[in-house]
Amino acid sequence: MSMNDVIERSNKVFMNTYSRFPTVITEGTGCRLKDAEGKEYLDFLAGIAVCSLGHCHPAITEAVCKQAARLVHVSNLFYTEPQTELSELLVTHSFADKIFLSNSGAEANEGAIKLARKHGGENRYEIISLEGSFHGRTLATVAATGQKKFHEGFEPLPEGFVCAPFGDIATLKSMITQRTCAILCEPLQGEGGVRPLEKGYLKAIRDLCDQHNLLLIFDEVQVGMGRTGTLFAYEQLGAVPDILTLAKALGNGFPIGAVLAKKEVADAFGPGSHASTFGGNPVACAAAIAAVKTMLADGFLEMVVAKGEYLFQKLLDLAEKYPEIAQGVRGVGLIQGLILQPAAVQHGNAIVNRVFEKGVILNFAGNTVLRCLPPLVVTLEDIDVFAATLDEVLGEFSNKQE
C-alpha cells in the first residue's frame, strides 16, 4: 500500500478538519520519525508538545505494556493503583492538594471551568481570559479562547466568558464584576505565538484575584511537564495558581489530562458533580507515571534549561543573519519561537513546508512565529542539524525577498 493510497483512503472517510503534511508516519524513535517510504524526519514539534520524552521512550513502552497485560480499563466506580500513584506524584511535586484526571487538555480546562463556577456559587460564573489565548476545541473552551478565528461558525458561544487585552492589567481590573469567579491564562501562550507572560504581569493578576476573591487558573497544557525547564511553568513565575491544567506531555502520547487544585477549591466538587468515563485510565496513568518519574530524575530538567538556551542562541543567530525575515526570538526552555517580520509572515507556512521537504518538522503559530517544540531529550547535535536546515531555507526565502 503506497503513501498516496493511504492518503486518498483517509481523505474519503475522515472529516476535513486538519491541514496535514503529505506523508504517512509509520514509526518513531527518540527525536526521529519515519514515513511509509522510509524517509526520516527530525521532529521539532513533538506531536505539538506531546512526546516530550521522544517517540517510543523505553520507560513509557515498558510501563504501558506491563499495565496493558494486567488491566486496561475499569470504571471510576473503583479505585486503581496507577491512578492513585499518579495523583500522589502530581500532588507531591506541585501546589495542589487534589487531582481530577481526564483525557485531554480541553477536558481538563472544561473541568477547571466547572470547578471555578461551582466554587464561585450562585451568580458568580464569569471567567476572564486573555487575548491571544488558546484553551481547547470544546464549545466552552472555544468561548474562553481569546482568538476570534476559533469562534467563527460556532456562534452563539456559551455565555460567561470575557476576554481582556494581553498585557493590560488596568483594563483587566476594570472588567472584574460581581459575576466574575476566575481569571484564566496560560503562563506562556503557545498557539498565540510563543508569548510569555511577564512575571510582573502574572503577579499583578495574582494580586487582583486575591483582592477580589477570585480563582487564578493556569492552563499549562502546552507548557507544563518540563517544557520550560521546571516541571510546571508557574514554578519560575512567582505566582501560584489555585487551579492548574495539564495534558499533552503528561502521558507522552497517551491521552490523559489533569486538573490540579487546592483543597479548599477542590472541595466544591462532590460525587456526581463531575466525571469522566476514560479519565484516569490505568494504561494512560502508567504512561504518565513513567513520564513524570523520568522528568524528575536528577539533572533532567537542568538539561532542558541548558538545551533551551542553546536553541535560543541558534535561533537568535538566524534572526541576526536574516533581519529581513526575522525580528527576534522569544520563549522559555524548549518552547522557542523565531518571530517573523510583518512583511515575512506571509511566508510562514511556506517556510515550514520547505523545512519539512528537507526532513525537519516544525510549525507556524499565531501567524507570527516559527514555533520550535522539540522533545526534551533532543541533543545539541539535533539542534545543530535543525538550525543548519532552517538556515538553508531562510537563505532561500531571503533571496526571494530581494
Q: Are 122 and 34 within one domain? A: no
E strands, 131-230, are 161-164, 180-185, 188-189, 195-196, 215-219
Q: Are 252 and 302 within one domain? A: no
Burial of 172 (0-12, 13-18, 19+ CB in 10 A): buried
Q: Are 135 and 191 within one domain? A: yes
Q: Are 111 and 208 within one domain? A: yes
Domain that residue 348 falls in: 3-56+298-401
Q: Are 160 and 247 within one domain? A: yes
What is the arithmetic mean of pLDDT over 87-96? 98
Q: Are 318 and 201 within one domain? A: no
pLDDT at 2: 87
Which of 241, 275, 295 is the C-terminal boundary of a domain? 295
Q: Are 177 and 255 within one domain? A: yes
Q: Beta partners for 340?
A: 326
Q: What is the distance between the alpha carbons of residues 282 and 199, in angstroms, rounded to a whole number?
A: 37
Label residue 344 by pLDDT band (50, 70, 90). Answer: very high
Which of 257, 274, 295 is the C-terminal boundary of a domain? 295
pLDDT at 402: 55
Judged against a pLDDT cut of 80, whether residue 400 lies above it is answered with no
Which of 261, 295, 329 is the C-terminal boundary of a domain? 295
Q: Are 312 and 364 within one domain? A: yes
Instruction: For residue 240, count other CB atoms closer than 10 A to its CB.
Output: 16
Q: Are 32 and 152 within one domain? A: no
Label residue 401 by pLDDT band (50, 70, 90). Answer: low
Amino acid at site 331:
G
Do residues 361 and 45 lie in contact, with contact meaning Cβ atoms separated by under 8 Å? Answer: yes
Judged against a pLDDT cut of 70, whether residue 108 lies above it is answered with yes
Could you give the number of structural domains in the chain? 2
Q: Are 11 and 140 within one domain? A: no
Q: Are 243 and 128 within one domain? A: yes
Q: Are 47 and 133 within one domain? A: no
Q: Tens digit of pLDDT for each residue in 114-140?
A: 999 999 998 999 999 999 999 999 999
